[in-house]
Amino acid sequence: MLGRRNNYLPETQALLTRMTVQPTVQRAKLYDDLIRLLKSASVWAKLDALWLFAAHDTQAALLNLKGSSYGSVPVNSPAFTIDRGYQGNGTSSYLDTGWSFSSRSRDDAAMGFWARPSGAAAMVDAGDSANGIIYVAASGSTTGHRINAGSTFAGAATSTSGHFISSRTGPLATDNPLYINGVVKFAQSNPSVQPATSNVYFGRGGGGPYYSARPFAAGHVGAGLNALDVTALYAAISTYMTAVGAQ
């Protein structure tokens, strides 16, 4: 594989260098293809962190594809499955990203994850203790979300798996829509507020705190994403998930 690295983007080469257990040539190309797609769509620069939890080993799964900062940290031993990702126990285990909404402006932030199918009931699937959360009801009938808003807005949803993104691109309630699998579902009902410093988690969130047993195959945080950004990000992650069998 080393001989083929000259064909990879510098970002891919840097990522592979940080991996303790090297991926196969086929998987390395998946990483490179994903990064190329995101760069060509001008989405790569908007991400502060992107984690592909559905990886070939635990160390690689926790790496931030963007760089050495914001490596996810397992807390209380969430379960890892090769090519599937991480899953908390719903009571105490989760992933701590080390990233906070306070690193972005109040009107420019997004958070999302790729959830694998499960019957997990959750109060909060991802988020922090103050600024942003996403939760998905077990039936898929209701999903709630907010980014830098005073309270959570819930609306109708029809899926419990796939790609969920809450994105804020302005101060108005309508500037904070929820996207599921690349399609906008509904917006917030609250305008933006100044974010506090609080780490974002996968498998935990809210002021409770609340925990989730939903399995996560990927996660990301960063600047606010518009509809075109979301479509491109969904397509890139979906291609990777299909290839490794984590859809």
Which CATH class name applies to 48-244?
mainly beta
Least confident window among 19-23, 139-143, 180-184, 193-197: 139-143
Instruction: State the average pLDDT for the chain.
Output: 93
Closest CA to 217 of 190, 185, 241: 241
| pLDDT for position 1 | 44
β-partners of residue 192 are 149
Q: What is the SS3 assignment for 171?
A: coil
Q: What percent of the chain has pLDDT over 90?
A: 78
Q: What is the arithmetic mean of pLDDT over 114-133?
A: 85
The CA distance from 95 to 86, in Å, is 8
The CA distance from 96 to 72, in Å, is 5
DSSP 8-state assignment for residue 116: P
Cis peptide before 209 (omega within 30 of 0): yes
Q: What percent of the chain has pLDDT over 70?
A: 95
The CA distance from 79 to 13, in Å, is 28
β-partners of residue 132 are 147
Express each pLDDT in 51-88 by its tens digit: 999 999 999 999 999 999 999 999 999 999 999 999 99
Q: What is the SS3 assignment for 220?
A: strand
Q: Give the confidence band of 2 by pLDDT, cuts at 50, 70, 90.
A: very low
Domain boundaries, the chain: 48-244
Asked whether the predicted pLDDT for residue 3 surpasses 70, the reply is no
The CA distance from 9 to 166, in Å, is 29
Q: What is the arithmetic mean of pLDDT over 195-203?
A: 94
Whether the pTM exceeds 0.85: the reply is: yes
| pLDDT for position 123 | 73
| pLDDT for position 122 | 64
Least confident window among 25-34, 66-75, 177-186, 202-211: 202-211
Express each pLDDT in 126-171 by its tens digit: 999 888 989 887 666 788 899 999 888 888 777 889 999 999 999 9
